[in-house]
Amino acid sequence: MGFTVLIPARLASTRLPDKPLADIAGVPMVVRVAQRAEQSEAAQVVVAADSPRIADACSRHGVRAVLTRNDHPSGSDRLAEACELLGLQDDDVVVNVQGDEPLIAPALIDAVAHLLERRRDASMSTAAHPIASVEEFRNPNVVKVVLQSDGLALYFSRAPIPWWRDGFAAGITALPEPAPLRHIGIYGYRAGFLRTFPRLPQAPVESCEALEQLRALWHGHRIAVHVTPDDPGAGVDTPEDLERVRSFFAAG
């Protein structure tokens, strides 16, 4: 069996109410995400919904969905329940595609899945791309990652890492070489690890940085990172993001 794409979809959103159901050229956003994921090599694409409204919208457009509890504290908890509902085996590879990424590249999904299939020493996989501007490097909303020589993650941070001591002595005015890496929020897991991950105690560094993936590193798990030259672009977090994506689909 090939890998499974799971798309967690939560109805509540602070900045964009009912975000998964936001209309994009006549189709709900979460369905647009699933349609992109279906262009990957995944054996199945499933939306893990917290509301019957999301599940019903998916059904109307021929997208498979499972209804999960609506009180999960995180997306990984929702995905762990979805693994149980789908009866996935511990070694099955699951790719978590965020439900607000209607422009995600199918090739990126494939790359993250196949990387984890190859890297038996890793519990998770993810992706990153080179940062092109100082502004992006300084932005705490842009998560950075530093790698080991074998492509495993050393650390993720909202801070500008690696810190270029000599170059930044007078302030961050240029980028170090090679270019620092921006983390892309897509994850591959083995279903067995995904079942146990939400039960791991939260790491102090995780709560400090507000980055859930640091829990895996803190507990000694390895995260393999696929580096792509392409910037996948921002997801949909604000009304402005939504209008940008609507314009893309309207242009056809």
List of residues 6+ apart from 172 with CB closer than 8 A: 134, 137, 138, 160
Q: Is 39 helix (H, G, I), strand (E, B) or coil?
A: coil
Q: Is 154 helix (H, G, I), strand (E, B) or coil?
A: strand
For the beta carbon of residue 220, count every other beta carbon within 10 angstroms: 7
DSSP state of 49: E
Helices (H), the chain: 29-37, 52-60, 75-86, 106-118, 134-138, 191-196, 204-209, 213-218, 239-251
Q: What is the model's pTM?
A: 0.94
Taking each continuous run of H as one helix and of E as one strand, the counts in the chain are 9, 11
Backbone dihedral angles phi then psi of residue 157, each to the nearest 5 degrees: -155, 155
* Each residue's pLDDT expressed in tens, for the chain with a length of 252 residues: 689 999 999 987 767 889 999 999 999 999 999 999 999 999 999 999 999 999 999 999 999 999 999 888 888 889 999 999 999 999 999 999 999 999 999 999 999 999 999 999 999 999 999 999 999 999 999 999 999 999 999 999 999 999 999 888 878 888 999 999 999 999 999 999 999 999 999 999 999 999 999 999 999 999 999 999 988 877 888 888 899 999 988 887
